[in-house]
Structure 1
Amino acid sequence: MPDFEEIASINDFGDADRLDVFLGDTPALLIRIQDQFLAIEDVCTHDGQPLTNGCIEEGAIICPRHGARFDLVTGKALCMPATKPIQTFEVEVKGQKIFVRH
């Protein structure tokens, strides 16, 4: 079972709601929604495009290219054109440090 890796600090966010990170070789987004931190793979399962600049609404991220929506907690594809989920990663916050299991 992979261990948690320190990936960022809460202070790294500033006013942003997300950070681009790599989990091993996997491009990922670390997302802050109020006091909750979530980590998802930064690749739309529909066409492989980054989700980086997608709008975050109602607990989902919307692919900026074709509008596929993904649940940020489960990774589930919520609408077409995506039919497969994105990968999500477990996050732990200890003090100001953010750790992700991948």
Structure 2
Amino acid sequence: MTGQRVCALTDLKEDAALATEIEGTPVCVVRVGERVFAVRDECSHADVMLSQGEVEGGRIECWLHGSQFDLATGAALTLPAIDPVPTYAVTIEGDDVLVDVAQPNRERG
């Protein structure tokens, strides 16, 4: 995997989202326990940053309409969103969090 460093692992607070941009792609990075996830920082229902929403139980909620997305798969879990958001590969090297946006794990429908 070729990833770009987005932050230090110690910079990620539990169940809080971090907004960043990689190669022009808006990315939301979230730490849940020992796992770190990266999804496109844009709700598939509306042009809204997911990183401004709530994180709980491996889900992120869009603050505007309440759509929830699974951080591991990008799947839309609640309406009004029906399309998934792309997820990106995350690698931890020491204290560095690397995200690869070159090949999203899942494309929006």
**TM-score under structure 2 length normalisation:** 0.83
Aligned residue number for residue 54 of structure 1: 53
Q: 1:1-102, aligned counterparts within 5 Å?
A: 3-13=2-12, 17-102=16-101
Query: What residue identity is the alignment partner of 2:57?
Result: E
Output one character per residue of 1:43-76: Cα deviation in whole Å (capped at 9) or x when no partner.
0010111112211122111110001110000000
Given that 2:13 and 2:31 are in contact with CA atoms closer than 8 Å, whether structure 1 keeps it comes out as: no
Query: What residue identity is the alignment partner of 1:61?
Result: I
Secondary structure, aligned partner of 1:79:
coil
CA drift of 1:23 comes to 1.7
CA drift of 1:11 comes to 2.8
Secondary structure, aligned partner of 1:64:
coil
CA drift of 1:94 comes to 1.0
CA drift of 1:18 comes to 2.5
Percent identity for Structure 1 against Structure 2 = 31
When the two chains are superposed, the root-mean-square deviation of aligned CA atoms in Å is 1.7
Given that 2:15 and 2:32 are in contact with CA atoms closer than 8 Å, whether structure 1 keeps it comes out as: no
Output one character per residue of 1:17-39: Cα deviation in whole Å (capped at 9) or x when no partner.
32211121111111111221111
Query: What residue identity is the alignment partner of 1:9?
Result: A
**TM-score under structure 1 length normalisation:** 0.89
Give structure 1 regions of 4+ aligned residues with deviation exceeding 4 angstroms: none
Secondary structure, aligned partner of 2:50:
coil
Secondary structure, aligned partner of 1:83:
coil
Unpaired stretches in structure 2, ≥5 consecutive residues? 102-109
